[in-house]
Structure 1
Amino acid sequence: MASSSGAPPPGGPHHPTARTATAPDPEDQLARLARSWLWLLGGAVATLVPGVLALVWPDVTLHVLGVLIGLYLLVSAGFRFVTVFGRREAGERLPGLLVAVLFVLGGVLCLRHPLQTVGALSLVVGAVWLVSGVVTLYGALSSKNLPHRGLVLAVAVLGIAAGIVVLAMPAESARILTRLLGLWLVLLGLAETALALAWRSALRKAGITDGPDTHTSA
């Protein structure tokens, strides 16, 4: 929304000048949203909720677990895709975009009924966490002036560790897999929550409420 000063343009609100002055920029709006600490917190909650559900509901069927993990990956992909617009340079957006696409592919695979076996779910989720952790680690190391680089690196390393553990420790039952995935989801969600709160603190110190002039990492 843009406001004007002085006398209104001739011809009322239907004058061409009035229309162009209030035209929003979709990319700028997405960038503002991506730089908000609340958006980062939303992504953390999207990770925490299925993790908590998996831990308090260990006897969930394999079908329900596949749906739960698939929805988690798809929702997280949406948060990560919007976060891509918080990057200043196009080159900095590529790692985040790759991670978002990877989460979409993993979510679709988990929702497919033929792939809902213990081994298939372990393979898909472990591969997604491992690859996304590596990509996030690369993006954190290559980005210039990245705020809270240490926390971003910690989240990336935690994702890599989660992927390796899930891939290296094949679960023999849905119950074991549920507890394993739930534990790692909670750990990742807590790490992402810490990153969101650190970002809020940085914005407040800079006197910024929504972070229009800063950028953060996926």
Structure 2
Amino acid sequence: MTFPERPAAQPPAEDDEPFGRSSAPPGSPGDPLDRLALLGASWTWVLASALATLVFGVLLLVWPDKSLHVVAVLIGLYLLAAGVFQFVAAFAGHPQAGERWSRLLVAVVYVVAGVLCLRGPRLTITVLALIIGMVWLISGMLGVYAAVADKQLAHRGLAFGMAALGVVAGIVVLCLPIESAVALTRLLGLWLVLLGLAETAAAFALRSALRR
């Protein structure tokens, strides 16, 4: 889930940036960190993440009876896409180094889990549920940490609530036996739809904040 920083009144000094910048002038096309920060802080980027989440959630709800291999591919593609959005969102604004690394770690968790889903054509329901449960649990815990530590996080309360729900969802998936692909896809699809709706609301709230 991508929640950028609140729009800053003034840009921080160059010495305060935890990640070193290039020698290119500020705002120039040659500064990749500036480009990532602008992209990650854009409300359209948050909206794109929300739409991607909604699309995969709807697909899983519409096709709950597909084969396990198809379900694993859909989940893997979603996790890879979510990893990209999380990576770019980590550079939005000017968070502290520890908070930025926690967001980058979430991106790595998503990408690794996505690759495991795509490279495992013989995945069982148990293994797939284990991957999803671990992703929800780890990303939820890191999301809770980011929401508590970063007082400049946009929609901090919403981010904390969704991260806490992710922790609960991860524990539920890991503790309760899921015996069919249909049950797993419906659970995941419902979660992605709710997550996508929350991200959509956050995107439009961010647009209003930027306009003000």
For Structure 1 versus Structure 2, the TM-score category normalised by the shorter chain is 0.7 to 0.9
State the distance in 1 between where 2:173 and 2:190 align: 11
State the distance in 2 between where 1:166 and 1:63 align: 19
Q: Is the 8 A contact 2:29 2:35 kept in 1?
A: no
Moved more, 68-77 or 83-92: 83-92
> Given the alignment, which residue of 63, 67, 85 partners 2:69?
63
- Any stretches of 5+ residues in structure 1 without a counterpart? 1-18, 206-218
Report the identity percentage. 59
Q: Aligned pair 1:198/2:205, yes or no?
A: yes
Q: Say which SS state the counterpart of residue 192 (structure 2) adopts.
A: helix
The residue identity in structure 1 corresponding to 2:43 is: W
State the distance in 1 between where 2:67 and 2:130 align: 18
Change (3 A) 1:121 1:23: closer
C-alpha distance after superposition, 1:63-99 (max 9, x if no partner)? 0000000000001100110111114133331111010
Q: Is the 8 A contact 2:69 2:121 kept in 1?
A: no
Change (3 A) 1:106 1:161: same
Q: Say which SS state the counterpart of residue 177 (structure 2) adopts.
A: coil
Q: Is the 8 A contact 1:158 1:188 kept in 2?
A: no
State the 1:166 CA deviation.
1.9
Report what 1:7 is aligned to: none
Instruction: Report 1:143-154 matches (<5 A).
Output: 143-154=150-161
State the distance in 1 between where 2:200 and 2:168 align: 18
TM-score (norm 2): 0.82
State the 1:170 CA deviation.
2.2
TM-score (norm 1): 0.80
Q: Is the 8 A contact 2:69 2:122 kept in 1?
A: no
Report what 1:105 is aligned to: 112
- Any stretches of 5+ residues in structure 2 without a counterpart? 1-23
Report what 1:75 is aligned to: 81
Report what 1:119 is aligned to: 126
State the distance in 1 between where 2:90 and 2:173 align: 27
Q: Say which SS state the counterpart of residue 113 (structure 1) adopts.
A: coil
RMSD, aligned CA: 1.9
The residue identity in structure 1 corresponding to 2:45 is: W
Q: Say which SS state the counterpart of residue 184 (structure 2) adopts.
A: helix
Number of equivalences: 187
Q: Aligned pair 1:168/2:170, yes or no?
A: no
State the distance in 1 between where 2:162 and 2:199 align: 7
Q: Is the 8 A contact 2:84 2:107 kept in 1?
A: yes
C-alpha distance after superposition, 1:137-160 (max 9, x if no partner)? 101101133232111112212222
Report what 1:96 is aligned to: 103
State the distance in 2 between where 1:20 and 1:44 align: 33
